[in-house]
Amino acid sequence: MKKIAAVILLMVISGLFSFHLNSYAAQEYSVVREETGMDLLKFLNDRISVNNTVDEIMAVFEEMCQTPIRDELLLLECGVYNYTGQELFYFDMVRQYPDGEGEYYQLRVSLAFLPDNENCKLNDTLWSDDTTENFFDYARRSSGYQYAKNKQIHAIDIRIDQT
Protein backbone atom coordinates (compact mmCIF):
# COMPACT_ATOMS: atom_id res chain seq x y z
CA MET A 1 0.00 0.00 0.00
CA LYS A 2 2.86 2.38 0.81
CA LYS A 3 4.39 1.67 -2.61
CA ILE A 4 1.12 2.52 -4.36
CA ALA A 5 0.78 5.74 -2.38
CA ALA A 6 4.39 6.66 -3.19
CA VAL A 7 3.83 6.01 -6.90
CA ILE A 8 0.65 8.09 -6.89
CA LEU A 9 2.43 10.89 -5.03
CA LEU A 10 5.30 10.73 -7.54
CA MET A 11 2.82 10.89 -10.44
CA VAL A 12 1.06 13.88 -8.89
CA ILE A 13 4.36 15.68 -8.22
CA SER A 14 5.58 14.91 -11.75
CA GLY A 15 2.32 16.13 -13.22
CA LEU A 16 2.47 19.33 -11.19
CA PHE A 17 6.11 19.81 -12.07
CA SER A 18 5.35 19.26 -15.76
CA PHE A 19 2.39 21.61 -15.52
CA HIS A 20 4.61 24.19 -13.80
CA LEU A 21 7.23 23.96 -16.57
CA ASN A 22 4.62 24.22 -19.31
CA SER A 23 2.94 27.06 -17.47
CA TYR A 24 6.27 28.83 -16.99
CA ALA A 25 7.15 28.41 -20.68
CA ALA A 26 3.78 29.85 -21.63
CA GLN A 27 4.27 32.74 -19.18
CA GLU A 28 7.74 33.52 -20.49
CA TYR A 29 6.59 33.34 -24.08
CA SER A 30 3.72 35.59 -23.10
CA VAL A 31 6.23 38.03 -21.59
CA VAL A 32 8.12 38.08 -24.88
CA ARG A 33 4.86 38.70 -26.70
CA GLU A 34 4.05 41.57 -24.32
CA GLU A 35 7.59 42.92 -24.60
CA THR A 36 7.53 42.89 -28.36
CA GLY A 37 3.88 43.70 -28.93
CA MET A 38 3.61 40.91 -31.46
CA ASP A 39 3.52 37.16 -31.67
CA LEU A 40 6.92 36.44 -33.20
CA LEU A 41 6.21 32.85 -34.12
CA LYS A 42 2.98 33.84 -35.85
CA PHE A 43 4.80 36.70 -37.57
CA LEU A 44 7.28 34.24 -39.08
CA ASN A 45 4.70 31.58 -39.95
CA ASP A 46 2.47 34.15 -41.67
CA ARG A 47 5.30 35.40 -43.88
CA ILE A 48 7.46 32.37 -44.67
CA SER A 49 6.73 29.41 -46.94
CA VAL A 50 8.65 27.07 -49.24
CA ASN A 51 7.66 29.43 -52.06
CA ASN A 52 9.98 32.11 -50.62
CA THR A 53 13.62 32.42 -51.55
CA VAL A 54 16.32 32.23 -48.88
CA ASP A 55 16.90 35.98 -49.44
CA GLU A 56 13.22 36.69 -48.70
CA ILE A 57 13.22 34.42 -45.63
CA MET A 58 16.36 36.10 -44.26
CA ALA A 59 14.70 39.51 -44.80
CA VAL A 60 11.60 38.39 -42.86
CA PHE A 61 13.77 37.03 -40.04
CA GLU A 62 15.74 40.27 -39.99
CA GLU A 63 12.50 42.28 -39.85
CA MET A 64 11.29 40.16 -36.93
CA CYS A 65 14.58 40.86 -35.13
CA GLN A 66 13.92 44.61 -35.29
CA THR A 67 11.53 44.07 -32.38
CA PRO A 68 13.81 44.15 -29.31
CA ILE A 69 14.08 41.33 -26.77
CA ARG A 70 16.36 41.74 -23.76
CA ASP A 71 19.66 39.84 -23.75
CA GLU A 72 19.10 38.19 -27.10
CA LEU A 73 21.71 36.59 -29.32
CA LEU A 74 21.38 35.76 -32.99
CA LEU A 75 22.79 32.58 -34.45
CA LEU A 76 23.21 31.24 -37.95
CA GLU A 77 24.25 27.61 -38.22
CA CYS A 78 24.43 25.19 -41.09
CA GLY A 79 25.63 21.71 -41.91
CA VAL A 80 24.51 18.25 -42.95
CA TYR A 81 22.74 16.42 -40.12
CA ASN A 82 20.52 13.40 -39.70
CA TYR A 83 17.79 14.66 -37.34
CA THR A 84 14.91 12.79 -38.98
CA GLY A 85 16.43 9.56 -40.27
CA GLN A 86 17.45 11.31 -43.50
CA GLU A 87 20.58 13.35 -43.96
CA LEU A 88 19.73 16.90 -44.99
CA PHE A 89 21.64 20.15 -45.21
CA TYR A 90 20.19 22.53 -42.60
CA PHE A 91 20.47 26.29 -42.73
CA ASP A 92 19.12 27.65 -39.43
CA MET A 93 18.47 31.22 -38.34
CA VAL A 94 18.01 31.43 -34.56
CA ARG A 95 17.00 34.18 -32.15
CA GLN A 96 17.96 33.14 -28.63
CA TYR A 97 16.85 34.82 -25.41
CA PRO A 98 16.86 33.93 -21.68
CA ASP A 99 14.02 31.88 -20.22
CA GLY A 100 14.48 33.33 -16.72
CA GLU A 101 15.74 30.02 -15.31
CA GLY A 102 19.30 30.03 -16.61
CA GLU A 103 18.47 28.47 -19.98
CA TYR A 104 17.27 29.91 -23.27
CA TYR A 105 14.42 29.93 -25.72
CA GLN A 106 15.40 29.61 -29.35
CA LEU A 107 13.07 30.96 -32.00
CA ARG A 108 14.25 29.04 -35.05
CA VAL A 109 13.69 29.10 -38.79
CA SER A 110 15.21 25.89 -40.09
CA LEU A 111 15.58 25.47 -43.85
CA ALA A 112 16.35 21.96 -45.11
CA PHE A 113 17.96 21.14 -48.45
CA LEU A 114 18.76 17.82 -50.05
CA PRO A 115 22.42 16.92 -49.54
CA ASP A 116 24.87 17.20 -52.41
CA ASN A 117 28.63 17.20 -53.02
CA GLU A 118 28.85 20.93 -52.26
CA ASN A 119 26.81 21.28 -49.05
CA CYS A 120 28.32 18.22 -47.38
CA LYS A 121 31.51 20.32 -47.01
CA LEU A 122 29.73 23.31 -45.42
CA ASN A 123 29.52 23.74 -41.68
CA ASP A 124 29.12 27.18 -40.07
CA THR A 125 28.22 28.57 -36.66
CA LEU A 126 27.98 32.37 -36.50
CA TRP A 127 26.92 34.25 -33.34
CA SER A 128 25.91 37.90 -33.25
CA ASP A 129 28.35 38.57 -30.42
CA ASP A 130 31.25 37.37 -32.63
CA THR A 131 31.05 40.53 -34.76
CA THR A 132 30.66 44.26 -34.31
CA GLU A 133 29.04 44.69 -37.70
CA ASN A 134 25.40 44.14 -38.60
CA PHE A 135 24.77 40.44 -37.97
CA PHE A 136 22.72 39.99 -41.13
CA ASP A 137 25.43 41.49 -43.34
CA TYR A 138 27.89 39.13 -41.62
CA ALA A 139 25.54 36.15 -42.12
CA ARG A 140 24.90 36.95 -45.79
CA ARG A 141 28.62 36.63 -46.48
CA SER A 142 28.81 33.13 -44.95
CA SER A 143 29.48 30.15 -47.17
CA GLY A 144 26.26 28.51 -45.96
CA TYR A 145 24.15 31.48 -46.99
CA GLN A 146 25.94 31.83 -50.32
CA TYR A 147 25.16 28.18 -51.02
CA ALA A 148 21.55 28.16 -49.76
CA LYS A 149 20.41 31.33 -51.52
CA ASN A 150 20.75 29.62 -54.90
CA LYS A 151 19.15 26.28 -54.05
CA GLN A 152 15.62 24.89 -53.85
CA ILE A 153 14.34 24.62 -50.27
CA HIS A 154 13.24 21.06 -49.45
CA ALA A 155 11.41 21.84 -46.18
CA ILE A 156 10.95 24.60 -43.59
CA ASP A 157 10.46 24.23 -39.84
CA ILE A 158 9.61 27.31 -37.76
CA ARG A 159 9.49 26.70 -34.02
CA ILE A 160 10.49 27.73 -30.50
CA ASP A 161 12.78 25.35 -28.58
CA GLN A 162 14.07 25.58 -25.04
CA THR A 163 17.69 24.66 -24.23
At 42-65, the pLDDT tens digits run 999 999 998 999 999 999 999 999
Positions in the chain whose pLDDT score sits under 50: 1-31, 33-37
Using the Cα atoms of residue 44, residue 50, residue 53 and residue 54 in order, give the sign of their dihedral. Answer: positive
